[in-house]
A and B are shown apart, each in its own frame.
Chain A
């Protein structure tokens, strides 16, 4: 049985992210105060503290910063950090892969799969071929 992602528990300020995820869009927060993108999303920029943070659609492309195959659990899975083209690194999973052949730096693309809540999708990544 494949690993079933636990459902996220959205907060009021993260609703747009999780709604977009259900429409196949990866949103990240950009700051109009300092120009930086950050992860995870917050109403106030973690760099300059400005509240002028806006959601922008990310390209959905990135590279593996690191990965870990959790082998000794009932449903093994790959935990990973992916560095997005826009700059920041997010925690996620790499799916549909041979875990032993994954390499740091591999290019990956986002995809959205159902979580334990069948009405909520979560962003995971596949290796680009």
Chain B
């Protein structure tokens, strides 16, 4: 084996709440942090690196580090929207390898469901200094519109049907029925998806993810520390990150940055998509997960509609078990930032701690991918390849 892991994911924790009216955003961060540290068998005093996104209230990491009274020597607040947290894992590995920290804590938390009550967390930026703002805002750009245009063009170029998109939701719902914390636990059919109301372009209501409060946390540690703990060893063996924009007006909107982030991660890991036994794929919409399946190389470009049919993403049924926690479509999409939960379920699978009904037997190699921002407009993809030792 030519690869020597530089760091391991030693702690993982998902907040059980999906609706958190009684807990502050800072306290949610603290609860997921302590949950992940307890999972690892570490304490907050072991943490010397802290990674967070703009869901962290206050200036960068300052308020939360103070709130939790962390003693830090390395911080990172990379923000690529929902894909930030997988990039945080990659950057934590790099920081550990460079000797900048030993134990890195990564948190995500918030409560977008409380926003209507004036107690929310993260507001979408409306910054006129953003150079693209004056060319997009006047036309009513919003997330649904961006993803609707991508889905419409994929339909046009490759014949992708509403029923095929529906299979992604069906698979997620089959998994979510076994997750007691999932927001939506009811098993749905393709018929249910395609007869739900159309919301934007070809996207039906059931093509869209849930909105949840809560969050999650990860702890990444250097190999000597990881080996001293009592948990199964989950090595980070490949990382890739890539942003993608409109290329001066010449972008093909059905392409994603997962082409580049995936290629980089697979090259670093020295494996191919065929080696992956379980995949966590960001599913803000059904089409989001589908484009990652193509662009990460699990099928030919344009063929994902056929690939996802007939339960091919359902654990125990198909070739590519995905989002066995129920994903963002059914389980959890805290703070509208789905990258964190992608890593959490991949860790569970590799440890053999997924629900028995969805556990991939002898799962040794898993992938987690996230898309942050808006497909077809500006987004970043981040890919992690994880191995159970």
Contact = CB atoms under 8 A, between A and B. Distances in A.
Interface of A: 3, 5-11, 14, 36-42, 46-47, 65-72, 77, 79-81, 87-93, 103-105, 115, 122, 124
Nearest to B149: A66
Interface string B188-200: 0000000001111
B16 to A, nearest CB: 31
B244 to A, nearest CB: 14
Given A8-B134, A65-B153, A70-B200, A3 B248 contact: no
Given A39-B246, A71-B198, 12 more contacts: A5-B138, A8-B134, A66-B152, A68-B146, A70-B148, A72-B197, A79-B149, A88-B249, A88-B250, A91-B135, A91-B136, A93-B140
26 contacts: A8-B138, A9-B137, A11-B131, A38-B249, A39-B248, A40-B131, A40-B246, A41-B135, A66-B150, A66-B253, A66-B376, A68-B145, A68-B148, A68-B201, A70-B142, A70-B145, A70-B200, A71-B200, A79-B145, A81-B253, A81-B376, A91-B139, A92-B139, A93-B139, A103-B156, A105-B156
B248 A38 contact: yes
Interface centre among B134, B136, B139, B247 (most CB of A within 10 A): B139
B132 interface: yes
A68 B144 contact: yes
A11 B131 CA distance: 9
Nearest to B142: A70
B200 A91 contact: no
Given A66-B153, A79-B149, A8 B137 contact: yes
Instruction: Find the residue from A5, A67, A80 having the highest chain B CB count within 10 A.
Output: A67
Given A65-B153, A66-B156, A87-B249, A72 B132 contact: no
Interface of B: 128, 131-142, 144-146, 148-150, 152-153, 156, 197-201, 246-251, 253, 376-377
Nearest to B205: A72
A68 B135 contact: no
Contacts of B135: 8, 39-41, 90-91
Nearest to A105: B156
Contacts of A124: 139
Given A68-B148, A70-B145, A72-B197, A40 B132 contact: yes
B249 A39 contact: yes
A92 B140 CA distance: 9
B201 A69 contact: yes
Contact of B201 (A5, A65, A67, A90): A67
Contact of B139 (A65, A79, A105): A79
Nearest to B203: A68
A128 B111 CA distance: 46
A104 B144 contact: no
B140 A70 contact: yes
Which 5 residue pairs across A and B have the least CB separation, nearest first?
A88-B249, A68-B148, A39-B249, A68-B201, A46-B248
Nearest to B254: A66
B138 A6 contact: yes
Nearest to B154: A66
Contacts of B250: 87-89
Contacts of B139: 5, 79, 91-93, 122, 124
Contacts of B200: 68-72
Most chain A CB inside 10 Å of its own CB: which residue of B153, B197, B253: B153
Most buried by B among A9, A91, A105: A91
Contact of B140 (A5, A47, A72): A5
